[in-house]
Amino acid sequence: MATPRARGAATIYRMASLLRYAGALLLLASTTVLTAQTPGSATGALLQQLGQTKRVGAVALSPNGKELAMELAGELVVAPLPGGSPGRPLTLCSKGKGEVLSLSWSPDNAHLGVLADCEGTPEVLLTTGEPGAKPRLLTTLHGFAKALAYAPDGRSLALLYVEGATRPSGALAAMKPPSGEIGVEGLEIQRVATIDAATGELRQATPPGLHVYEFAFAPDSQQLAFVAAAPPGENNWWIAKLYTEPLAAGSEPKVVLDPNTVDGPLHGLQIAVPQWSPDGKQIALIGGLMSDQGATGGDLYQVAADGASPPVALTPAAHVSYQWIDWLPSGTMLATAIDAGEEEVNAITMPEPGSSNPLAKKHELQTLPYSVGDGRLAGSFAVSRDGAVAAWAASSFARAPEVYAGPLAREPLPAITHLNAQQTPSWGKAESVRWTSEGYKVQGWLLYPAGYDPGKRYGLIVMVHGGPSSAVTPRWPRAGFGAAPLAASGYFVLEPNPRGSYGEGERFTQANIKDFGYGDLRDILAGVDAVEKQVPAIDDHRLGLTGWSYGGFMTMFGVTQTHRFRAAVAGAGIADWLSYYGENSIDQWMTPFFGASVYKDPAVYAKSSAINYMDQVTTPTLIVVGDRDGECPAPQSFEFWHALKAFHVPTTLVVYPNEGHGFVDPEHQRDVMERSIRWFNQQLQ
């Protein structure tokens, strides 16, 4: 029988696994009692189908490009490349069953490092990848861990570790009920821990006063580069700095880059994905205006590893948003970027030392018909040491998740798994649509309704993404809140990427600073006009508006600014930026977007607060939120609901118990989607 500690750890890892797919960017008192709902036949069948999609998890490629490790439907599988056998399942834990959390190959290709949740206890194991090989238990952890990585010399591994954790790190997870001295007691600090590959000895490598978000080994394995800030970690990522620290005992971290004080275009912005140059003299990173840690987007920068010189912008004025980078031994950098709602893979040629031209050159390798990842960061993928072979997990609106692997060239990678080959969309086709708005090029995705008949008329629901610094890219949906179930229920769905989104460069991403709800809403309404001209079957009298997080705010604010929408569903929204500033767990993110704190410039916050325009609302609105949401606290939803009732606007508020910003309970995920569909059906039919 599992111990209480083991059961607690298992819960943490189940939550973390689900939050990875809540997407970035997804209280019990309410006007509606939350009970089990009987799904409609079509909606219930769709959500059941989506719930049966087999999971494709972490993907790791051996440095020589000949062995591929994958988590497939709960099993750890190693397959030879190219071709060969379909793969061989490996024993995952030292005993009992387990779930893969992270994978990393040793530099000599001989061992696969596995971080696994073994029936509630996290373990780090080494396996040879041979059939029937029993893994060697390296160490047992007591807390939350992720991001396992081998050192370049193969003598140690490192991971991000929250010792004694009671919840996953990050702001998406449900916050602990407040108690004790707030901001002082109960802080859970994520640090880099190293593990000796021979002995399993674990050592906390970074100090307890810094919460680490991302890290990388130096080429000589003797030091780390990491992005970190003082705790609490869920709040302070927006003011994080780049550090280096030798791994010798007793060493202290050194600030290499502080975006809060640096001059130039990086000032006041966020940094992510640090990567050492092959000679160890430079560190490349991504810098930009980002609203959620892990949802990376921006330009490429390079800074001296000793911090002796300021950062250099490698891709100023780029028209894409970089997500992830990996510096190859040859000196070429691989990068993924979002370009107008699609992901692309680029080779980046760095400027020659001493060159008068400091700009990097982009060589596009592939524009991808799907969204990719390997379980580490957004847009990350596995690549051999020489950059010749790549592997990733991918999905699109039309294709369920599979693993793709092969030579990294201009030809698309072939699928090497067929886990979800029987899955077919229950919704209509998806099209990328483009329009212009006030001089900006704007892109979005239009999902057609199931069984589309051009001779009929259909309602259109606009679904605004979270963020705001994010973007909709093609991916297979989850069994919860999202666009595909709405399309399967007979609606067109427009998922716009308005100003503030990734995919059109930093100028576009920063275009909604001090302007939330105005320029971005005009972009969205222009998109509605554009798709109505493109598709005459859309009925302008049956328009709906919805979204989660920033999309929830845009829903609340949008219905105060226009009467075009006949129904709305606001998920985890924000009604009053002034009260929100003092309620949320992540107030540091607001200054880059509003220019100052609410205490110094309340007017800029009031301008974008829906609560100040409630006398204009006529749109029936369903409101949903989790009772332990730290990003968009439940009182914001209560405020909006209360105001709607005061003006006699039809409304319902549903509060989900024990849920944070990203819902993890499958019943709640289903319920919120089913309620949303019923609401739109009632108001738009």
DSSP string over 623-638: EEEETT-SSS-HHHHH
Lowest mean pLDDT among 349-363, 393-407, 485-499, 606-620: 349-363
Who's near 482: CB < 8 A, 6+ residues apart? 463, 673
- Residues 676-680 have a mean pLDDT of 96
Q: Give the pLDDT confidence score for residue 585 in this predicted structure.
A: 86
Per DSSP, 248 falls in state: S
pLDDT number for residue 84: 57
- Model confidence band, residue 30 (pLDDT cutoffs 50, 70, 90): very low
| pLDDT given for residue 170 in this prediction | 65
Using pLDDT thresholds of 50, 70 and 90, give the confidence band for residue 85: low
What's the one-letter identity of residue 306?
A: D
CA 660/CA 175 separation, integer angstroms: 6
**Are 568 and 461 within 8 A, CB to CB?**
no
CA distance 567 to 542: 8
The residue-averaged pLDDT of 305-330 equals: 94
Q: What are phi and psi of 560, to 5 degrees?
A: -85, -15
pLDDT of residue 406: 95
pLDDT in tens, 38-82: 335 566 777 777 888 999 999 999 999 999 999 999 899 999 998
CA dihedral sign of residues 414, 419, 421, 425:
negative
Rounded to 10 deg, the angle between the 41-51 and 666-684 helix axes is 150
Query: Quick one: which of 586, 677, 556 has its CA closest to 46?
Result: 677
Specify the 3-state DSSP secondary structure of 392. Answer: strand
* Residue type at 249 in one-letter notation: A
Radius of gyration (C-alpha) of the chain in whole angstroms: 24
Q: Specify whether the CB–CB gap between 658 and 665 falls below 8 A.
A: yes
Residues in Cβ contact with 599 at an 8 Å cutoff, skipping those fewer than 6 apart: none
- Separation of alpha carbons 405 and 421, rounded Å: 17
Report whether 627 contacts 659 (CB < 8 A): yes
Q: Report the percentage of the chain scoring pLDDT > 70.
A: 91
Which of 161-170, 317-326, 444-453, 499-508 comes out lowest in average pLDDT? 161-170
Q: How far, in whole angstroms, is CA 640 from its chain's centroid?
A: 27
Q: How far apart are CA 7 and CA 516, in angstroms?
A: 43
Instruction: Count other Cβ atoms within 10 Å, centred on residue 251.
Output: 16
Four-residue CA torsion sign, 95, 97, 103, 109 = positive
Helix (H) or strand (E) holding 571: strand 567-571
Burial class (CB in 10 A: 0-12, 13-18, 19+), 514: middle
pLDDT-derived band at 359 (thresholds 50, 70, 90) equals: confident
Please give the Cα distance from 407 to 600 (Å, whole number): 54
| Least confident stretch, 30-34, 46-50, 57-61, 468-472 | 30-34
Tens digits of per-residue pLDDT, 213-224? Answer: 999 999 999 999
526-539 pLDDT, tens per residue?
Answer: 999 999 999 999 99
Least confident of 171-180, 508-517, 518-527: 171-180
pLDDT of 267 strictly over 60: yes
Residue with tokens 């971005």: 520
Distance (Å, whole) CA 518 – CA 554: 10
Q: How confident is the model at residue 119 (pLDDT cuts 50, 70, 90)?
A: confident
pLDDT at 13 over 70: no
> 425-684 maps to which CATH number?
3.40.50.1820
Euclidean distance between CA atoms 530 and 519, whole angstroms: 16
Read off the pTM: 0.92
The tens digit of pLDDT for each residue in 437-465 reads 999 999 999 999 999 999 999 999 999 99
Give the mean pLDDT of 187-216: 96
**Spatial contact of 53 and 680, defined as CB atoms under 8 Å apart:** no
Find all residues with CB under 8 Å of 592, minimum gap 6, and list them. Answer: 238, 268, 269, 270, 289, 513
Mean pLDDT of the chain: 90
Confidence of residue 24 (pLDDT cuts 50, 70, 90): very low
- pLDDT of residue 279 exceeding 70, the answer is yes
Confidence of residue 178 (pLDDT cuts 50, 70, 90): confident
Q: Given a cut of 70, is residue 361 above it in pLDDT?
A: yes
Do 202 and 184 form a contact (C-beta atoms < 8 A)?
no
Can you give the pLDDT at residue 676? 96
> Would you state the pLDDT for residue 16?
52
